[in-house]
Amino acid sequence: MTNKKVWFITGAGRGMGVHIAKAALAAGNAVVATGRNTDTVTKAVGFADDLLVVKLDVTRPEDAQAAVKAAVDRFGHIDVLVNNAGNFYAGFFEEITPQDFRAQVETLLFGPLNVTRAVLPVMRAQRSGLVVTISSTAGIRGGEFLTAYAASKFGVEGWMESLTPEVAPFGIRTMLVEPGFFRTELLTPESTNYAEPTIEDYAEKTRQTVTAWSGMNGLQGGDPAKLAKALVQLASQDEPPQRWAAGADAVEDLEQKAQRLLAQADAYRELSSSLAHDDTNA
């Protein structure tokens, strides 16, 4: 049991999750670091008195329930949940198999649902807690080669926005984090799966995109350690932001999307506003 705040982090074996776990520990919190391979998590995060490493495949509800029980047995409570675990199925929609598309949604959308469903009873009993879900700028705007990934992240955005008022009466807050390009392992072969090219019409653009993205790996502008430190800072606030654009490129993406939405709302304003029932002749 501990009087410290307890962070429960998924996908803590590599990438952003490692940085978040280290930043939370450095700030004096207790951390439950989870991943599909506990050896990988331990090697990445290290050892600490206030660290518990637990096996968790987010696509398995039974794993989520067991991991939450282990966390509460060890520390007594869970104060911050970070839904971070993820992967990336990239490719043109027609070339992503139905199985791979479904697998993407299973990890990126149903994974956080599984873990949050296991954590919320603990937070409701406490009448406090913060649910953080790592989304993406791809949850704000779609783009070619991103159909499965963006569909999952758009789903995350809608789920979290709708969850917010449901849990607020119990003292539970939510925060969506939308990172831009950060220097993580997302574009490595361990995290990114490219659809098998099968359609000639897409072949040249596929080659160009894969080459460009592969060349970007390790050169992204964002520093994940800085993101993690900022996230810990925001999570400590009494009223954390419901949405946080992480990175200058993310801020720009959100601003551009907002402008496009306003322009689209205005483009057919007269037609859109003329669709009510005309009851004057009734």
Task: For Cα atoms 224, 113, 261, give the angle at the middle one, nearest 5 degrees.
Answer: 70
As given in the structure block, the two tokens for residue 251 are 């801020």
- In the structure encoding, which two tokens stand for residue 199, read together? 């359609």
CA atoms of 270 and 5, how far apart (whole Å): 53
Core vs surface per residue 158-168: b (16+ CB within 10 A) or e: ebbeebbeebe
Catalytic (active site) residue 149: yes
Q: Report d(CA 135, CA 137) in Å as an integer.
A: 7
Tell me which of 5, 22, 153, 229 is the catalytic residue: 153
Those residues with Cβ within 8 angstroms of residue 189's Cβ, 6 or more apart along the chain or in another chain: none
User: Catalytic: which of 22, 135, 194, 202?
Assistant: 135
Sequence-distant (6+) residues with CB within 8 A of 101 are: 89, 147, 148, 151
Cα 238 to Cα 64, 131, 233, 279: the distances in Å are 27, 13, 11, 49
Q: Kindly calculate the radius of gyration of the chain based on its CA atoms and give it in whole angstroms.
A: 20
On whether the CB atoms of residues 64 and 115 are closer than 8 A, the answer is yes
Catalytic residue among 89, 149, 194, 202, which?
A: 149
Contacts of 39 (CB under 8 A, 6+ apart): none
Q: Quick check: 119 and 65 in contact, CB under 8 A?
A: no
Active-site annotation holds for 202: no
Q: Does 153 participate in catalysis according to the annotation?
A: yes
Residues annotated catalytic, as ranges? 135, 149, 153
